[in-house]
Structures are given as structure tokens and as C-alpha cells.
Structure 1
Amino acid sequence: MLRIFVFNLLLICPLVKASISCDFIDTVNITGGYKDLNQNFIYKSEVYPHGTYQEFSYVEDFFKTRVSVDPHIRGCICNFKPCIRLCCQGDDKNIPHCSESTKFTVLNEDSEEKTINLEDNKYGVLVGRSCKDMFEVENQTPWKLQKNGSLQSSDGYFDYNKFCFGISNESVAVPYACFEEDDMSAHHRHETELIVHTVGMLISIPFLIITFFIYALIPELRNLHGKSLMCYILALILVNSLLLYAKHNNIEKFEALVLYYSIFLTFFWMNVLCYDIWRVSRSNISNRSLRGEQKTFLKYCLYGFGCPLLITVIAVLIDHFKPFHNDYHPLFGQFGLMHHNKKTKAIYVNIPILILTLVNVVLFVDTSRRVWSALDSGIDKKSDKRKEMFRKRFSICLRLFIIMGVIWLMESISFFSTDYSERTSFKHTFFQITDFISCIQGLLIFIVCISDKRTRKLITKRCRSPKSSTDDGITYEADFENNDESLNVMVY
């Protein structure tokens, strides 16, 4: 009889506030469960051994502040299974991704796409931010979820209670990491880079638009090379606008595909520009019919717009049918532009761009050699004339080099260099400078385009006489054998 009384007393009496074997932040509310004869606490089929549960009359906010609440029982769920922390479930204005979904997609430690279902009880689910100051692990930063629930990224290693997941409406996990003192410099670096890139693009886009309208409104500049340059500038406006948007928003699949297409659109039109300059440098034709120029421009359009479309379609088909290992699938829009895996970015972005850029450099070198040879063959021996020739020679080569995208070549070198987290301070500074120069490419192109005396005269003429027109049916290109001054026409 005494044994029955003691047993019932244990069931109905409040739990003794013994020490618990985990931090408060690693506990979940298990009120509503019951104790068995072995002093284990049972809640939703989970067994919490003695010492892993306790009654609390408070909750802790961000590890520090205690807030009084009604007494409730909490258990150390992370003592016997890996835990995943959700930043929130429902509506939290401080976290942009706050879905009520119980399923979401992550990359596991083998770089494979994995769907986690929180209802299958494989993970302990903790809800609420684990610290007050958190920053979003950027889309461009590769990260993987380890088997023990921790997060590995190029920003560092985060224990399960040092980060949390926001879940987008598309059921994609967006990690937020705690802002620790040791991470201050890394976080400030990311913030500084974001500001620099944003400012650079905001400077670049208006100058690109101005340059486009200069060529659109001045008929004398709308020769074959001028129209090709206009297409290149349009591609730059598109890609810079999308990149600026992606810097501050999580892009979805359609937006990622448009961005992917626009990136290649830029490089293929850059290739068209370089080929056109190279073609003119090899030609001795001083004039061409308008119809012939239109046919050539049509071919340029088929190449400049068609090749990026073909590459995008192939990538979309691979992404849809997934014929290879997951490391080789783009996964557009699920983790920013595409899969964080370095192999994937190399295959689908960096290697094709590097090939195009190297082709452009070869064309540039050969064009420069031909320009140099043409100038030498017709040079006057007078000192002043020689100085003027060298000035033009340098000016033309510089313009070609900028237009052909040496900046983008540096981007490829940046990608294939040491991992971001392993870079020295010098490398960080160097690539930050090249990144900023890349961002203000629109300003540089504007300066290149108006630095030519002939172009400035045409702008002035257009402003004074808005109805100026071109010669009927004839456009002029460089004649390297006969006229030194026509070299400037080649660039534009």
C-alpha cells in the first residue's frame, strides 16, 4: 500500500528542479508528457532520461535575457539526436524567410541535394534565434549541413546553436549565423564589399544608359561596330541590374535563368566586338554597302543572342533531367544563381567565360600587332609626327583592351585562385580593387567612348544640329594601308 502511495505521489507532484544536462537554448517544451517508473519523461514517443528534463518558470531570450513565463517542462532534445534550429515558424519581421513549412532543401556534406522533413523525428527541432545579432550567409557563399546538424561554410564552422534556418516559400533553407566577436572582421568585410559593389553598380548603370543613347542618337556612330557596341552595352545594363537585385534579394529560378543568360550575353557580344575589330584590321576595304553591313550585323545577332540562349537551354535541360551526379547540376535559383559547388560553377560559368576571354585576348594581341604594323608602314620620320603616332597607338590599344574585358579575366583568375577564406590580406585587397573596377565598368566604357576627339565633335554637332544624318548607303571603316586618321573610326 505504501509503494502505491509513493508511486502516485511521484506522478502528481511538481518536478524537482534538479540540474539539467544541457543549456537552456538546447531544450524544447515537452509539457504534456508523463514520467514512467524509471523516472524517464515520455513526450511524443521521445524518451528523456532522468537529468535531461526540468521544470522552468522562465525562457531565455538570445542566451542572455530571462523572461518569466508560466511553469513548464523542458527537455534536452539535442542530447540524443542531432538538432536543427529554425529561426522562426510563422511571421517574424526580423527574418525575411519565415515559412511554416516542415520540409526544406539543403546540401549535405557530400554536396548532394537533400530534403529534410522535420516530422520524421530524425532531428530535434529547436525554434527561435539563438543569438540577437545574426547575418544571412550569402547565396554566393558555399555551405553544407553536416550530419551532426552543424553548418560548414567558407565563413567558418557553426555549431547547431550558432545558426538557424529561415525557410523560403519555395522550401529552400536560408542559413543565418550568429554574429560573434571573432566574426566581426569577416562580417564587416562582407558588408563593405556589398556597399562597394552596390555603389559601383549604381554608378555604372546610368553611364551605360548614357553611352547607349549617345550611340543611338548620333547616326554617324551607328556603323556596324557601333551597333555591336550598343548590343554589348544593353547586355551590360541587363546583367548589372540583375546582379544589383541579386545582391539584396534571394532570386528564384526564373530570375536565376535570366541572370545566367545575361552573363553569357555580355561575353558573347564582347566576343563579337573583338572579332569585328580584328576583321576590320585584316581588311583593306575602305567602304562597304549598307546592305552588306546589315547582313553582317544579322549574323552577329544570331551569334551574340543565339549562343547564350543555346547554353542556357542545355543547362536548363541538365537541371531538369539531372543525368549526372548532383555535383554537376546547376540547381538554378535554389542556392542563389546556381549550385554552390565549385565544380558546378566552373563547368557552367567560369570555364566557358575564361575560354571566351582568352579568345578575345588573342584577337586583341593580333589586332594590336596589325595596327602597330600599319602605323609603322606609313609613319612620317618627323619627331612630332612620330609622337602623335605613338599617342594614337597607345590610345587605340588601351581602348581595345578595356572593351575586351581584361577586368573579366581578373574575375576568372579570382575564381581559380585560393579559396576565399584562405586568401591573405593582400589578395583580399587586390581582388576587392578588381571587383570594384568591374562594377564601374560602365563608367570606364563611357570615358573610353567620349575620349575620342571625333566622337566629341559628333556629340557637339548632334546637339547643335539634331537632324544630322549619315552618308547615303555608305559606312566607312579603317583603311590601314592608306589613311592613318581612319584608325580612330575602327574603334567606333
Structure 2
Amino acid sequence: MRFVLIVLSVIIAEISGDIPGCDYFDTVDLSNSTQLADGSYVFKHIKIPKGKTGKYNYQIMFDGTFELIPEHTRGCVCQLMSCVRFCCEPQKTLVKEKRECVGNIPNYNPLVNVTFHNGTEAEIDIVKEFAVQLFGIPCESHFTLDPYTNPNEGWILYENGRLYRKFDGRDFGKQHYCMQPHKSKGGQYRLLPHQCNKPQDNTDAYIQIVSVVFMILTIAAHFCMPDFRSPHKQFSICFFISLTLSFSLLRIETFLRNYMKVEVCFIFACISYYAVMCTFLWLLIINFNSWQAIKEYGRLKVNVRKRHLFVWLTAALLLLISISIDFIMKNVDKDRFLEWRPGFTVYSCWINTADWSAMIFYHGPMLVILLANIGLFVRTAWTIYKENETTRAMWKRSENMQKSKNRANFKVFLKLFLISGVVWLLEVISYLTSCFDSELNMTWIEVPTSAQGIVIFVVTVLKKNELNSIYKR
């Protein structure tokens, strides 16, 4: 369907009188402007030559699709003066969740700080000084960037009509925003940019819900196995519980973030962060335990309590450090250090993953733990490789059986690492990539991440020996 719309858009553009060398969003509707005898038009005391006008029977929406409308004449005025896009007539207000403008605001402050090509700034009346462009209300679901109410929603309007959004460093053309009066802090109407919410794709949410169900089944199955009290099974169950809790909390957050009070949102963010860190650490413990067991030829006595203390206390320490740094930076200068502090509750009931701080407090610890896992994995694989037939023949039968079991445990870790570890590693790579190109489609990494629970169930439970052991028990 999307392909058909693109093809139709190209056909429409070809058969209509588009203005050569002029972007659609650099034009204005000349229906109410005066046409001179030579075919040119006068718009705001600016004469638009005939060669800079054309007939249009469509409008372009924020997502790039075309919408057919009655034919009219447009002029390429933005090549002659500065332009700014409004959602609708400058005296009206935009209705929330509707493509509709209502009312008539008699008095509001039309002054906006504009940054010019030479880097200077000035507060000017953009309604009078700029060409006001009306392309129709772009969408029903939209949001407002209001730095007067929320300092994190700062923006810059440039002389060429482009908008810079501060919190994620993105730059937008007139296709992706429009100005309109909006009631701000203190009940005062101000000219603020409005942007469209991206259409929600629930595919990832559905996969994650199914994944959580399969993770619960995996946990239940491991409790039914005869050796569920063994250290390896205990650590695996803890890993599965942490992963399930992480998935569940992060999915619940997307649905409830707009209904939580700030205090509840903060507590929710802390619990989610703690669960995620525990998940990474339990995978490390499973790997470390496999490496030690094989290195000690199956004679290792595992101190389960120490392993538990390491995971729970290390995750708590990481959380405490993040909260402390966030609190200190917030109180020193919350705007200046925004992109470097963890940012609990800044944009959601989670940490700030839009700025470089995510590399320090989220993706950074994840990367360190994954690299440690890779190191342990290489050492374990090398230990197995070095074993020769002579050494194996010297083992007692019990030791041989224990060694075989340890190898099986190592294979389980290998599968878990390939499922979760590699996916998390790709998530770090996708984060770094998105820092330089925020428009990249990351579905290729989001879907495998969300489907971890399904794959883990298949590779750890749906095995002949595991199913037989559950059946016999």
C-alpha cells in the first residue's frame, strides 16, 4: 500500500504544474493574492515572478504521503523572503487529537526568537516579518514543544524556517512541524511549534507480551526439572526471572507513563533499571560458573550465596550511583547537564536513553558485562579445546559424568549468550548508530530483542532430555 501511494505521488507531481527548482514546502497559496498583467503575483509586498508560480492539486502530509485537494496556484515565496509554517490561521488554536482549529485569540505575543544565518539572534514578530505558510493541519495526534512549561522542550527557529529540537539534537524542515498559539505557563498564549506523533506500531508490543508468556513457561518448566536446585539451574532461573521482570516493567511503562505521578514514575524507573542490570549480571554469573566448573575438572564447590550477593548488591550499587549522579547534576544545573545525567523521569518512567548519558549509565555497563562474557566464553572454549584423550581417560567415571554435565551447562550458556548477549550487543551498536542518524529504522533489532523469551523457551525447554526429565518427575 505504501509503495502504491509513493507511485501515485510521483505521478501527481509529474502531471501537475510544479515549480522547477522549488520545494513544495517553500511555496504559499496565492489564491487570495493579486495577479498582475504579466502573470506575476504580489504577496506581502513581494512580487513573485510568473516563473516562480505553478498549479497544484495536492498537499504533502508530514509522513510524505500526498493528499488530493482542489487545484490552486502556489508561488515560491521562500526563495524571496523568510517563511514560517502555521498549522492554521494565526489567530486560532489547534484542537488536541483533531485536525481542526477553533476560536479567535484577540491578543497574544507573536514575538519569537529567530537565529539568523550569521549566528545572531533577534526577537521578531514572525507573523508580520515572515511569509506565513498554510499547508493544512498535518495530523490528528500531535504534541507541543513548550519550554515555558517544561525546560526540556527547548527549540530554536532559524531564519530559513527550519526548527532545531534541543532534547535530541534533531533538525526539522517545515514538513515536520507547524507554529500555532498555545496556552502556556501562567495561562498566556505563546507561539509554539507543534509536531505529529509517530503512528504507533504495536507489533513489538505484541511480540514482547507473547515473549513474557513464554518466559513464565520457561521458569515454570525449570522448577519442574529434577536438578532445579543445582547452581546452574538456580542461576538460569534467576536470569529468566530478571529478564521477564525487565520486559514486563518496560512494557507496562509505555502504557502508564502518562498516568503516573512523578514520585511513582521515579520509583518505577528505579525498579526497572535494577531489574535490567540484574539480567545482565546473571548472564555473567552463568558464564563464570561454567568457566570455573570446566577449569576445575568438575570438582568445583559453588558458593551460591556469594553469587547471589554479587548480583543483587552490584545492581544496587549501579542504581545508587546513577541516582546520586542524577540528583547532584539536577541540583547544580539541570539544563546544562541534561544530556550527561541519567535523567530518571526526564522523558519517561525510565532513564534518559536519547542522549549520550545512556552510553555511560545503561549501554556502557551492558557493554562492559558483555565484553566480560565474551572473554570468559573464549577462555572456556579454549580450555575444552586443550583437553586431549589422555587427560580424559584419566578421569574417574564420576568426574567424567560431571565434566559432561558441565559441558552441557556451557552449551546452555552459549545458547543464552547467542540469544540475549548478541542481541544486546546489537542494541548498543544500534544506539550508537542512531546518535548520528536518528531516522534509521531499528525494527530489525527491536523485534529480535522482544522475541528473546520465545527463543529461550525453544532452546532450553523444548529438548528431548529436558522434556523427559519433566515428564518423569
- Aligned-residue offset at 1:198: 1.8
Query: Does residue 335 of structure 1 match 2:369?
Result: no
Query: Does residue 177 of structure 1 match 2:187?
Result: no
Mapped partners of 1:281, 1:146: distance in 2? 59
List aligned pairs for 1:96-175, cutoff 5 A: 131-134=137-140, 145-148=155-158, 150-152=162-164, 157-158=171-172, 162-163=176-177
Tell me the equivalent position of 2:451: 440
TM-aligned CA distance change 1:230 to 1:132, over 3 Å: same
- Aligned-residue offset at 1:123: 8.7
TM-aligned CA distance change 1:456 to 1:339, over 3 Å: closer
The one-character-per-residue Cα deviations of 1:254-309 (angstroms, maximum 9, x if unpaired) are 24333333322221222222222222222235474xxx644334434444543443
Query: Does residue 242 of structure 1 match 2:249?
Result: yes
- Aligned-residue offset at 1:322: 4.1
Which residue of 193, 198, 202 maps to 2:205?
198
Which residue of 272, 278, 282 maps to 1:265?
278
Identity of aligned residues (%): 18
TM-aligned CA distance change 1:340 to 1:365, over 3 Å: closer
List aligned pairs for 1:45-444, cutoff 5 A: 92=96, 94=98, 131-134=137-140, 145-148=155-158, 150-152=162-164, 157-158=171-172, 162-163=176-177, 176-177=195-196, 194-218=201-225, 220-247=227-254, 250=257, 253-254=265-266, 255-286=268-299, 288=301, 293-303=303-313, 305-322=315-332, 325-336=337-348, 337-339=350-352, 341-374=354-387, 399-404=412-417, 405-417=421-433, 419-421=436-438, 432-444=443-455
Query: Are the equivalent residues in 1 in contact too, given 2:278–2:312 (CA < 8 A)?
Result: no
Give the secondary-structure state (helix, strand or coil) at the position aligned to 1:147: strand
Mapped partners of 1:170, 1:373: distance in 2? 70
Mapped partners of 1:205, 1:411: distance in 2? 19
The one-letter amino acid of 1:314's match is: S
Query: Are the equivalent residues in 2 in contact too, given 1:231–1:269 (CA < 8 A)?
Result: yes
TM-aligned CA distance change 1:296 to 1:256, over 3 Å: closer
Mapped partners of 1:168, 1:370: distance in 2? 68
Give the secondary-structure state (helix, strand or coil) at the position aligned to 1:433: helix
Query: Are the equivalent residues in 1 in contact too, given 2:287–2:410 (CA < 8 A)?
Result: no
The one-letter amino acid of 1:411's match is: E
Give the secondary-structure state (helix, strand or coil) at the position aligned to 1:334: coil
Query: Are the equivalent residues in 1 in contact too, given 2:87–2:137 (CA < 8 A)?
Result: no
Query: Are the equivalent residues in 2 in contact too, given 1:85–1:161 (CA < 8 A)?
Result: no
Query: Are the equivalent residues in 1 in contact too, given 2:322–2:342 (CA < 8 A)?
Result: no
Query: Are the equivalent residues in 1 in contact too, given 2:293–2:299 (CA < 8 A)?
Result: no
The one-letter amino acid of 1:131's match is: I
Mapped partners of 2:235, 2:185: distance in 1? 39
Query: Are the equivalent residues in 1 in contact too, given 2:427–2:445 (CA < 8 A)?
Result: yes
Question: Where does the alignment leave 5 or more consecutive residues of structure 2 unmatched?
Answer: 1-26, 30-43, 47-60, 62-66, 71-80, 100-107, 109-113, 116-122, 146-151, 187-191, 394-403
TM-aligned CA distance change 1:434 to 1:341, over 3 Å: closer
The one-character-per-residue Cα deviations of 1:306-327 (angstroms, maximum 9, x if unpaired) are 3443344334334533467333
The one-character-per-residue Cα deviations of 1:66-119 (angstroms, maximum 9, x if unpaired) are 9xxxxxxxxxxxx99989979x97984559xxxxxx9xxxxx99xxxxxxxxxx
The one-character-per-residue Cα deviations of 1:137-168 (angstroms, maximum 9, x if unpaired) are 899xx996223485446897545685369999
* TM-score, normalised by the number of residues in structure 2: 0.56
Give the secondary-structure state (helix, strand or coil) at the position aligned to 1:176: strand
The one-letter amino acid of 1:335's match is: Y
TM-aligned CA distance change 1:129 to 1:23, over 3 Å: closer
Mapped partners of 2:360, 2:292: distance in 1? 30
The one-letter amino acid of 2:289's match is: D
Query: Does residue 449 of structure 1 match 2:460?
Result: yes
How many residue pairs get aligned? The number is 351
The one-letter amino acid of 2:472's match is: K
- Aligned-residue offset at 1:440: 0.7
Question: Where does the alignment leave 5 or more consecutive residues of structure 1 unmatched?
Answer: 1-21, 25-48, 52-61, 67-78, 96-101, 103-107, 110-119, 179-186, 381-390, 463-492
Query: Are the equivalent residues in 2 in contact too, given 1:243–1:259 (CA < 8 A)?
Result: yes
TM-aligned CA distance change 1:348 to 1:302, over 3 Å: closer
TM-aligned CA distance change 1:295 to 1:340, over 3 Å: closer
Query: Are the equivalent residues in 2 in contact too, given 1:256–1:333 (CA < 8 A)?
Result: yes
- Aligned-residue offset at 1:438: 1.6
Query: Does residue 458 of structure 1 match 2:466?
Result: no
Q: Over alpha carbons, which structure has the higher Rg?
A: 1
